[in-house]
Amino acid sequence: MFEELVKRDFKKKYKRTILGVGWSMLSPLLMLLVMKVVFGQFFGRETPHYTTYLFCGLLTFNWFSGSASAGMRSLFGNAGIFTKVNVPKYLFIFSANMQVLFNFVLTLLVFFVFCALDKVSFSWKFLCLLYPVVTLSIFNLGVGMVLSALFIFFRDIDYLWEVFMRLLMYGSAIFYSIDDMPARLQLVFACNPIYRHIAYFREVVLDGAVPSVSTHLVLAAFAVAAFAAGAWMYRRYNTKFLYYV
179: confidence class by pLDDT, cuts 50, 70, 90: confident
| pLDDT over threshold 70, residue 45 | no
Handedness of CA 25, 31, 37, 40 (dihedral sign): negative
Residue 26 reports pLDDT greater than 70? no
- Alpha carbon distance 109, 83 (integer Å): 39
User: Does residue 4 surpass a pLDDT of 90?
Assistant: no
pLDDT of residue 84: 75
Side-chain-side CA neighbours of residue 1 (13 Å): 12
Q: How many helices (H) and strands (E) does the chain have?
A: 10, 0
Provide mean pLDDT across the span 83-108. Answer: 83
pLDDT in tens, 8-21: 666 666 566 555 55
pLDDT for position 42: 65
Range with top average pLDDT, 79-83, 98-102, 169-173: 169-173
How far is C-alpha 176 from the chain's CA centre? 19
Alpha-carbon gap, residue 81 to 172, rounded angstroms: 37
As a whole number of angstroms, the distance between CA 164 and CA 160 comes to: 6
Helix, strand or coil, per DSSP, at residue 177:
coil
19: Cβ contacts below 8 Å, ≥ 6 apart = 26
Consecutive H or E run containing 234 = helix 213-237
CA gap 13, 99 in Å, rounded: 9
Q: Find the mean pLDDT for residues 67-77.
A: 87
Give the domain ranges of the chain: 2-243
**pLDDT (tens digit per residue) in 98-131:** 888 988 988 898 899 888 888 898 999 999 999 9
Percent of the chain with pLDDT over 90: 42
pLDDT (0 to 100) of residue 9 = 63
User: Terminus-to-terminus CA distance in the chain, angstroms?
Assistant: 21
DSSP designation for 181: S
Region 143-154 average pLDDT:
90
On whether the CB atoms of residues 105 and 194 are closer than 8 A, the answer is no
C-beta of residue 139 within 8 angstroms of C-beta of residue 226? yes
- Whole-structure pTM value: 0.86
- Tell whether the model's pLDDT for residue 22 goes beyond 80: no
Range list of β-strands (E), 38-161: none
Mean pLDDT, range 60-89, rounded to an integer: 83
Kindly report, residue by residue over 184-219, the tens digit of the pLDDT.
999 999 999 999 999 999 999 999 999 999 999 999
